[in-house]
Amino acid sequence: MNTLAVLATLPIFWPILQIIIYFAGKEDKLVKFYAIQTILFGLVCFGIGMIGAMVGVVIGISTIIIGDLAAWIGMALGLAMAVFGLIVALVCLFQIFKAFKGEVWKMPVIGNFSAKKAGL
């Protein structure tokens, strides 16, 4: 078990924990890879969450003008964001499992960038 690699995948205290682990495990390419990938994945999720929140605010304000239709759209957006949160949680668990086994698992797009930066 690669303890630092597993810790690097945890979405706890993001991104502070991953930055600390990145520098603590400077010799281990697997640790660097998972630290970079988790930081980038967190940034993507944060961005999507912010966009969803802004759209939700706009929809919430537009219920005054549009009425019930905007409320239904808002509920659909809320459901979509809940599903997104579930998918993020499953991806994090899968990444933790792969790091525990010492395997490299590349997410689409950010995985290749992370591997290049980690020297894999």
Tell me the whole-structure pTM to 2 decimals: 0.88
**Tens digit of pLDDT for each residue in 41-98?**
999 999 999 999 999 888 888 877 877 888 888 889 999 999 999 999 999 999 999 9
Task: Answer positive or negative: Cα dihedral of 65, 67, 73, 74.
Answer: positive
Q: Is 7 exposed, middle or buried (0-12, 13-18, 19+ CB in 10 A)?
A: buried
